Amino acid sequence: MSDYASSLPLLFCVSAIVYYCLALYAAIDFLATPTTVDAAFHPPVSILKPLCGLDRNTYENLASFCRQDYPTYQIIFGIQDLSDPAVAVAKQIMRDFPAIDIDLVVSDRMIGANRKISNLSNAVTAAKHDILLIADSDIKVGSDYLMNVVQPLSQKTVGVVTCTYRSLAQGWVAAFEALGITTELVPTVLVSRTLTGMTFGIGATIVLRRAVLEAIGGFPAVANYLHDDFHLGRMPTNLGYQVVLSHYVVDHVLATASVIDFMQHQTRWNRGIRFSQPWGYTGQIFTFGTVASLVFVLTAHGSAFSWAVLGITWAFRLAMAWVVGVKVLRDPMAKPLLWLVPLSDLVRCALWCYSFLGNSIEWRGRHLTLTEGGKLVGFTSGRVYNQPLAND
């Protein structure tokens, strides 16, 4: 029994090291194939910005999209409530950038439980161009962003382009969460890209042709999913389109202010992944090398071999975090906070376990329930949005 108790965590250590090596290879491969920018390819783009309340630095986040070195583009701010404080910011942006084609769409029409998608569905009615770009309100970009992210669409087989991100954080809780995003989430994206190709989108940026959106059924097709970005990549893939991960890394302005915020964010993301990709989420158990190595030391009674395994496991884990965080994402916090990666792993494992204990989440003050496939059942004003409400 003792041999079995120590051999199982050893097996998990080995599987984690294999994963870390694969992530290192995936990161190096990603760096070796940068996007080529053809200045002659610049199709007109309609940028859809769903707004709900104020994020940290909302004005600067939105203004960064108005400073693009790009010939023709339109920005559409979508807001559901005229009393939303984001309305004032959007109007200020319109005054400050009169040369940019900017529209503001205010509509409370709901097509499903996902309010963001209902917002996008309302905003897209004002879109003038056939290339649509969706980016969350907490994203900040450089002036070369638009020129870079549209480039893969020069190939007709490409239907969707998406981006990774690094998180800009203030405060120790936000910094700790940002470290996890950089060193835990992004490696899984790179590994998926290497093993199966990109088959999903990331909410930081999704660029897609209007014809592709229409082919999957438009925004109503994803209006009841929590991870709408995932499905905006998955559904076009199922139709034969290619999803490309851009080499452009955007800035995500993280507003986590407390441990409770952190717990809610992580639980929402984890449970969303568990319901959207149940086998993939369960398989994460083979990537918890930090935890497995500590358990191995305990079950092996602190033998020299167990400590050697721990050292090797942690070395590969930190190497992966360094390459992805510092080299791929150029995250300014990855280097100084690298020593916290083992603690981040322990917390991540605990939250991974916790996410199996329920199917409820909290999202912008709303209590929602997840069902099979990652669909949402939302309770708002006594109404249940579990079916598309096309005529609401």
Q: How far apart are CA 189 and CA 247, in angstroms?
A: 13
Higher pLDDT: 2 or 4? It is 4
381 has a pLDDT exceeding 50 = no
Q: What is the pLDDT of residue 211?
A: 96
Kindly report, residue by residue over 293-327, the tens digit of the pLDDT. 999 999 998 999 999 999 999 999 999 999 999 99
Print burial letters for 39-56: b (CB count within 10 Å at least 16), e (below 16). Answer: eeebeebbbbbbbbeebb
Calculate what percentage of the chain has a pLDDT beyond 90. 73
Contacts of residue 381, defined as CB under 8 A and 6 or more positions apart, other chains included, come to: none
Tokens 């963001």 belong to 116
Tokens 């404080």 belong to 85
Q: What is the pLDDT of residue 254?
A: 84
Look up residue 157 and give its two tokens: 């087989």
Kindly report, residue by residue over 334-349, the tens digit of the pLDDT. 899 999 999 999 999 9
Q: How far apart are CA 223 and CA 112, in angstroms?
A: 5
**Residue type, position 193, single letter:** R
CB 217 within 8 A of CB 174: no
Q: What is the pLDDT of residue 78?
A: 95
Structure confidence at residue 383 as a pLDDT band (50, 70, 90)? very low
pTM value is 0.90
Rounded mean pLDDT, 127-146:
95
Q: What is the DSSP string of 184-248?
A: IIHHHHHHHHHHT-B-S-BTTBEEEEHHHHHHTTSGGGGTTBS-HHHHHHHHHHHTT-EEEEEEE
Structure confidence at residue 170 as a pLDDT band (50, 70, 90)? confident
Burial of 367 by CB count in 10 Å (0-12 exposed, 13-18 middle, 19+ buried)? exposed
Q: What is the pLDDT of residue 253?
A: 87
Rounded mean pLDDT, 339-361:
93
Kindly report, residue by residue over 75-113, the tens digit of the pLDDT. 999 999 999 999 999 999 999 999 999 999 999 999 998
6 has a pLDDT exceeding 90 = no
Look up residue 124 and give its two tokens: 């897209």
Higher pLDDT: 135 or 256? It is 135
Q: Sketch out the chain's domains with CATH numbers.
A: 2-30+276-372 (no CATH), 36-256 (3.90.550.10)
Q: What is the pLDDT of residue 5?
A: 62
Region class of 70: left (phi > 0), else alpha (psi between -120 and 50), else beta: beta
Kindly report, residue by residue over 173-185, the tens digit of the pLDDT. 889 999 999 999 9
Rounded mean pLDDT, 151-173:
92
Mean pLDDT of all residues belonging to the chain: 90
Q: What is the DSSP string of 123-186?
A: HGGG--SSEEEE--TTEE--TTHHHHHTGGGGSTTEEEEEEEEEEE--SHHHHHHHHHIIIIIH
Calculate what percentage of the chain has a pLDDT beyond 70. 94
Q: What is the pLDDT of residue 34?
A: 84
Print burial letters for 333-365: b (CB count within 10 Å at least 16), e (below 16). Answer: bbeebbebbbebbebbbebbeebeeeeebebee
Kindly report, residue by residue over 43-82, the tens digit of the pLDDT. 999 999 999 888 778 999 999 999 999 999 999 999 999 9
Handedness of CA 120, 122, 126, 128 (dihedral sign): positive
Work out whether strand 101-106 and strand 73-79 pair parallel, antiparallel, or are unpaired: parallel
How far is residue 380 from each of residues 115, 190, 228, 388, measured CA to CA in Å? 11, 37, 19, 15
CB 26 within 8 A of CB 326: no
Q: In degrees rounded to 5, what are phi and psi of residue 10?
A: -65, -40
CA angle 123, 232, 368 (to 5 degrees): 80
Closest listed residue to residue 16, CA positions, set 298, 355, 319, 369: 319
Region class of 53: left (phi > 0), else alpha (psi between -120 and 50), else beta: left
Q: How far apart are CA 312 and CA 320, in angstroms?
A: 12
**Residue type, position 1, single letter:** M
Contacts of residue 343, defined as CB under 8 A and 6 or more positions apart, other chains included, come to: none
Q: What is the pLDDT of residue 373?
A: 84
Q: What is the pLDDT of residue 3?
A: 61
